[in-house]
Amino acid sequence: MKTAHLVAPLFSLFIFSCTSQPEYAQPELGVRSVEILNIDGYQFKDLNKNDSLDPYEDWRLSTDERVENLLSQMTLEEKAGFMLISSIVMNGGEAFGRGPGGGEITSDLSEKESLMEVNFFTRKPLPAPMLSMSGTTKGIKERQLRHFILRTNASAKMTAEWSNKLQEVSESTRLGIPSIVASNPRNHVASDGALGLGFGNTVFSTWPGELGIAAMRDLELTREFAEIAAKEWVSVGLRKGYQYMADLATEPRWGRNSGTFGEDADLASDIIREITLGFQGEQLGPHSVALTTKHFPGGGPQLDGQDPHFDWGKEQHYPGNNFEYHLKPFKAAIDAGTSAIMPYYAKPIGTEFEEVAFAYNKGVITDVLRTKLGFQGIINSDTGPIFMMPWGVEEMDMHERYTKALDAGVDIFSGTADPTILLETIKSGSVSEERINASVRRLLHEKFELGIFENPYVDAAAADSIAGNKDFQEKADVALRKSIVLLRNDASLLPLKAKTKVYVASHNDNGRTKEPRKVLIPEVNNWDIEFVENVDDADVALLWLIPNKGGLFRSTGAPIDIQLSKNNINVEDVNELKKKVPTIVAISFNSPWVIKEIDDKNAQTIIATFGTTFDALLDVATGKFKPTGKMPITVPTSREAVENNQSDVPGYMEPEGYALFKFGDGLSY
């Protein structure tokens, strides 16, 4: 019996037998090409097309039993392909980017290959060419790939249709093993939408940036966010999240602070726990998005704030002897059941551990993560440590790097779509097949628990009504407002009084505009104030500063300066405006900017934002929503304070005189 549709349960809930055999709930089966087996009044998918029920096809059995049976049927080639997770795009999408790559984005499968000979981050030649993205059909059928990171931003319906086509190809293979599709965060107002960090605007509900989630101080709403986002992701076929960052924002110059939940380990732990339970549930199931918590053992303490995507940022240190502090959020993620953990690229210096990147670091992965913290899930390398960021093992060849990373404990390698070198490493005998089996077991276990062996397909027609629906966005709108922090209101300009004439502008210099500021006037005035286009007509000015380093991946290795003037803010213009009219300065703290250049006696009113909307900011400024947010990070007083900071120590623990605004600061009306 073949069908091209979902197969519904034979009976409403339970199928009863006249014998003493156990009663089971028939799951909904999703099929496109395989036969349905009818056995003992139940239905099963004949995934390996042998006209009989294999244990791995029998949903009545335990996950462990199913895993062992399928593992015994897999070839070395299938196992090697199974241990890679690579980028994938929809037809018309780019391999590395969000825009069109040769045509309009459609729901069709992309068969485009992407071969990298130059490091995407450093622009230096690679030691060997790396296939970063395979043609979809070839990747599944010939390279045995079953793990993908979707890099395309499209409509919900289109993404769901694409996902179904991907699963249809997977179902047609020898063993019918379904694919799992991962993504980076898609639900936040992001300061940097670069590859691997975020997506900017999507069709999903829009919530504050991660620092804004921390600024809310609302764990109930945080859990609700994760539950809502999980529904949206599942509706389009995204079942794995390359998220969230359990790193701590203890080094103010680090370019990824905006993706963290702040500098305080206890607050970050509470948030990570709620988000993990919200996305995954108490245990993985058909409702779940399996999370990959990153970047173990905490990427915050980067030397001088440089990032280990680059060789000039490969060193991570602990001048305050605060290694254990950075483990706390990972412990919370493990306790909540996170499915996977990702080690970062950096190598530790000045510690008890070997000075090799964490993906190669057995002392960190096996001794700390596995043994000390008891993590039993998947260890997922970050993108490209074998080919692009082999810090500390640069002299090893590719086979030796795979061997060392596997010995350290890595289960799945991100960034490459070609299993050839990994397969050669396995066949050489330098890695035992039992070691490979241990990783494949963990990867299979996740898939079985998610229920995608029974039904990997989604209802594309329903996806548009689920993703970003009105009820979800109403919840997110509350969060956007709760994330805003009032830091100073010395002149009592806030809340803005009714009928006040307000000049609103933003500083958001992306390097392409010559105008120092852009006037902002809403299309619909929902506030009892008057918006004016000319500052000379204003009673009050509201100036929203959105500093911009140019993006993480534009680093050159030069010293990092987090003063406003060094991050595309025209401080002269800001100070001139403040002389003309009483000014409210709102600052997007996607980093803990040093604001000394504008923080004089005239900067009496300051608001902090962390990825929010214009409407939310106006609601807070006018008092329609009273500010409740608290700072998730500490703002340093000066560049000198930043340069003297201990990068593994949160700002509120730094010596007296370090902080202009401390973690936890926040006023209301």
Instruction: Identify whether 382 is a catalytic site residue.
Output: yes
User: Residues 6 or more apart from 298 whose CB is under 8 A from it?
Assistant: 246, 247, 248, 326, 327, 329, 330
Fold of 481-661: Rossmann fold (3.40.50)
**Pairing of the two strands 501-507 and 412-414:** unpaired
The pLDDT value given to residue 556: 84
CATH of 73-466, one of 1.10.3720.10, 3.40.50.300, 3.30.70.260, 3.20.20.300: 3.20.20.300
What are the boundaries of each domain within the chain? 6-61, 73-466, 481-661
From 382, 418, 477, 648, the catalytic residue: 382
The pLDDT value given to residue 8: 45
CB 291, CB 338: distance < 8 Å: yes
User: H/E/C letters for each residue in 62-121?
Assistant: CHHHHHHHHHHHCCHHHHHHHCEEEEECECCECCCCCCECCCCCCCCECCCCEEEEECCC
pLDDT along the chain (669 residues), means of 10: 44 43 91 97 98 98 98 98 97 62 82 89 84 96 98 95 98 98 94 54 94 98 98 98 97 96 98 98 98 97 96 96 98 98 97 98 98 98 94 96 98 96 96 97 98 98 96 98 97 96 85 71 94 96 90 83 93 92 95 90 84 96 98 97 97 96 97
Q: What is the pTM of this model?
A: 0.94
Separation between Cα atoms, residue 339 and residue 447, nearest integer Å: 11
The pLDDT value given to residue 100: 39
CB 649, CB 317: distance < 8 Å: no
Q: End-to-end alpha-carbon separation of the chain, Å?
A: 68
73-466 and 481-661, same CATH topology: no
CB 650, CB 663: distance < 8 Å: yes
Residue 410's SS3 state is: coil
